[in-house]
Amino acid sequence: MIRLLDFVDWLLGLYVFILVVAAVMSWLVAFSVINVRNDLVRQILYTLDALTEPALRQIRRFVPPAGALDLSFLVLFILIQFIRFVIIPGLQGLFV
28 within 8 A of 45, measured Cβ to Cβ = no
Instruction: Parse the chain into domains and list their residue ranges.
Output: 2-94
**pLDDT for position 66:** 84
Half-sphere exposure of 72 (CA within 13 A, CB side): 17
Q: Which of 76, 38, 84 is nearest to 59 (CA)?
A: 76
The more confidently predicted of residues 40 and 69 is 40
Question: What's the whole-model pTM score?
Answer: 0.91
Tens digits of residue pLDDT in 16-37: 999 999 999 999 999 999 999 9
- H/E element holding 46? helix 39-60
Contacts 24+ apart (CB under 8 A), 89-95: 91/5, 92/2, 92/5, 95/1, 95/2, 95/5
